[in-house]
Structure 1
Amino acid sequence: MPDSTFPNAAELLARIAELEKENALLRQKIDALARKIYGVSSEKLDPAQLHLLLQGLDEPGKAPEPVAAEAPRCSKVPSPPRSRTPKHPAHLPIIEEVIVPEPVKAAPEQWRRIGEEISERLDYEPARFLRRRTVRPKYVRRGLLDAVPVIAPLPPAILERSIVAPGLLAQIVVAKYCDHLPLYRQESIYWTRHQVWLPRQTMAEWMGLAADWLKPIYEHIRSEVLSRGYVQVDETPIRYLEPGHGRTKLGYLWTCHAPRGDVVFHWQTSRAASCLEKIIPVDFRGTIQCDGYEAYDCFAKGRGEKIVLAGCLAHVRRKFYEAKETAPKVAGWFLRHFQNLYELEAQLRQSRAGPRRRHAERASLSRSVLLRLHRALVRLKTVRRYLPKSLMGRAIDHALNQWPALLVFLEDGRLEIDNNLVENAIRPTAIGKKNWLFFGEAAAGERSAILYTIIESCRRRGIDPFAYLRDVFTRLPSMTNWQIKDITPEVWAKQQCRTAQRAAA
Structure 2
Amino acid sequence: METALESLSKEDLLKVVSSRDEEIDYLKSQLAMYKRMQFGQKRERFEGDPNQTALPFEAETVEVEQQQQEIKQKIEYTRTRVNHKGRARLPEHLPVVEIEIHPEGDLSEMVCIGKEITEELECEPARFYINRYIRYKYAAGNGEGVRIGELPERVIDKGIPGAGLLAMILTGKYADHLPLYRQKQIFARENIQIASSTIEGWTKEALIKLEPLYGQLVFDTKAKGYLQADETPIKVLDSEKKGAAHQGYYWVYHAPLDRTVLFDYNPSRGGQVPKSMLDNFKGYLQTDGYAAYDKYGKKKGIIHLSCWAHARREFEKALQNDRPRAEKALLMIQKLYEIERRAKEQLSADKIKELRLEEALPVINEMGKWIFEEIKNTLPKSQIGKAMAYAYARWDALSAYLYDGNLQIDNNLIENAIRPVALGRKNYLFAGSHEAAQRAAMIYSFFAICKKHEVNPYQWLKHTLLNIESINHKNLKDLYPQNFKKSTDL
What is the TM-score normalised by the length of structure 1?
0.84
CA deviation after TM superposition for structure 1 residue 218, in Å: 2.1
Structure 1 residue 213 displacement after superposition: 1.5
Relative to structure 1, the CA distance from residue 14 to residue 290 in structure 2 (aligned partners, 3 Å threshold; closer, same or farther) is closer
Unpaired runs of at least 5, structure 1: 54-82, 499-505
* Residue matched to 1:496: 488
| Residue of 412, 415, 419 corresponding to 1:420 | 412
Kept in 2: contact 1:157–1:477 (CA 8 A): no
Rounded to whole Å, the distance in 2 between the matches of 1:308 and 1:20 is: 41
Write the distance in 2 (CA, Å) between the matches of 1:209 and 1:341.
48
Higher mean C-alpha deviation, range 334-343 or range 21-30: 21-30
CA contact (8 A) 1:227 1:284 kept: yes
Structure 2 unaligned blocks of 5 or more: 54-84
Query: Residue 93 of structure 2 aligns with which residue?
Result: 91
Deviation at 1:148, TM superposition (A): 3.6
Q: How many angstroms does 1:456 deviate by?
A: 1.3
Aligned equivalent of 2:162, options 162, 165, 181: 165
Deviation of the 1:164 alpha carbon: 1.4
Is residue 227–residue 254 contact of structure 2 (8 Å, CA) maintained in 1?
Answer: yes
- 8 A contact 1:273–1:299 mirrored in 2: no
Cα deviation for residue 185 of structure 1 reads 1.4
The equivalent position to 1:397 in structure 2, one of 348, 366, 389, is: 389
Higher relative contact order (CA 8 A, sep 6+): 1
Query: Is 2:220 aligned against 1:224?
Result: yes
- The Cα offsets for residues 450-489 of structure 1, whole Å up to 9 and x where unpaired, read as 0011111112121211111111211223223222122221
Match of 2:70 in 1: none
Work out which of the residue numbers 275, 278, 287 in structure 2 matches 1:277. Answer: 275
Q: 1: CA distance between counterparts of 2:286 and 2:87?
A: 37
Asked if 1:312 corresponds to 2:307, the answer is: yes
CA distance in 2, matches of 1:113, 1:255: 65
Residue of 367, 374, 390 corresponding to 1:373: 367
Moved over 4 A (4+): 5-21, 50-53
Per the alignment, residue 342 of structure 1 pairs with 337
Question: Alignment partner of 1:231: what SS?
Answer: strand
1:464 maps to which of 449, 456, 471:
456
Match of 2:233 in 1: 237
Deviation at 1:364, TM superposition (A): 2.0
Matched, 1:208 2:204: yes
Tell me the residue number matched to 1:78.
none
- Tell me if 1:4 matches 2:5: no
The answer to whether the 8 Å contact 1:254/1:265 transfers is yes
> Deviation string for 1:396-426 (max 9, x for gaps)?
1111111121121122332111111111111
Which range moved further: 474-483 or 169-178?
474-483
Residue 254 of structure 2: aligned partner: 257
Could you tell me which amino acid in structure 2 is paired with residue 132 of structure 1? N
SS of 2:227 mapped into structure 1:
strand
Task: Say which of 465, 470, 484 aligns to 1:473.
Answer: 465
Change (3 A) 1:136 1:297: same
- Aligned ranges for residues 353-368 of structure 1 at < 5 Å? 354-368=348-362
Identity %: 33
Partner amino acid, structure 1, of 2:165: L
- Give the Cα separation in 2 of the matches to 1:46 and 1:381: 24
Q: Which residue of 1 aligns with 2:66?
A: none
2:478 to 468, 482, 486: 486
Asked if the contact 2:318–2:326 (Cα under 8 Å) also holds between the matched residues in 1, the reply is yes
Superposition deviation, residue 243 in structure 1: 5.0
Cα deviation for residue 236 of structure 1 reads 0.7
Letter in 2 for 1:32: M
Confirm or deny: 8 A CA contact 2:22 2:381 kept in the other structure: no
Question: CA separation in 2, counterparts of 1:230 and 1:137?
Answer: 55
Aligned to 1:120: 119
State the alpha-carbon separation in 1 of the partners of residues 191 and 416 from structure 2: 38
